[in-house]
Structures are given as structure tokens and as C-alpha cells.
Amino acid sequence: MEMEFQQDGRVVRLKGIRSKPLSWIDPRECSKVLKGTNSLYIVFLWILNAQMKFKGRSEPLPRKMKLLLQEFRDVFEEPTELPPKRGQDHRIALVNEGAVIKMKPYRYPS
């Protein structure tokens, strides 16, 4: 899989790494797997033509949307830097610097 986009006027290309070839699972195999486990995760992949590239929206933006984006363009600009430091810290304070609790899961006293 390959993705290409522009960032700061430069073309950026990301290429995926496929470690194993993809394969289909037969419905009978799927049935066997379901009988042997409590849960099963199935991922459906639609593999498109490798040459296909995303060129943006297929239909133009409505006129009202264009006007809204233009009127509030300062709000919808992409950020160029990190937000400024704030007076309030929203960090979660951990007891004992987050020491691991040595108890079995779901055995906490009520």
C-alpha cells in the first residue's frame, strides 16, 4: 500500500511493509476456528489497484461550506507549531510514580 500527500509544499510518500502474503479463509476453516475459541477477529481488506491514487473529494464542496471555511479561515488553518504552555497542568498524578500493583486482575477489594 502506498500513500502520497503534500506537506509544507513537499511531496511525502509513505509505503507499507507487507511481511506475509495475504490469504483468504475458507468458510469451513472459519467455522472450525469459531468452535475452538471464544472470539474471533476477522478483518476484511479491499485491495485496490496499486496504481490508484487519492486525488481529493469526488464532488465539489457546497457553496455555503466554502463561504464558511473562507470566513473562518484563521480557525481552520493547519497548526504550524505546538500550542502555548498553559497555566493549568492536566497531567494525571500517579501514586508512587506509577508503581505496578501486584494483584490478580479483578481481585481488588471493594
In a domain, 31, yes or no: yes
pLDDT in tens, 39-82: 555 555 444 444 445 555 567 888 998 899 899 988 888 888 88
Contact 16, 2 (CB under 8 A): yes
Read off the pLDDT band of 22 (50, 70, 90). Answer: low
- Full domain range(s) for residue 23: 2-74
What is the pTM (predicted TM-score) of this model?
A: 0.26
Indicate whether 45 belongs to any domain.
yes
**Spatial contact of 14 and 3, defined as CB atoms under 8 Å apart:** yes
Question: Quick check: is 86 in a domain?
Answer: no
| Domains identified in the chain, total number | 1
Query: For residues 13 and 2, what is the distance between their CA atoms, to the nearest angstrom?
Result: 7
Backbone angle region of 98, left / alpha / beta, with phi > 0 → left and psi within -120 to 50 → alpha: left
CA 44 to chain centre: 16
**pLDDT at 42 (0 to 100):** 54
Query: Are 1 and 16 a contacting pair, CB within 8 Å?
Result: yes
Is the residue at 97 inside a domain? Answer: no
Mean pLDDT of all residues belonging to the chain:
72
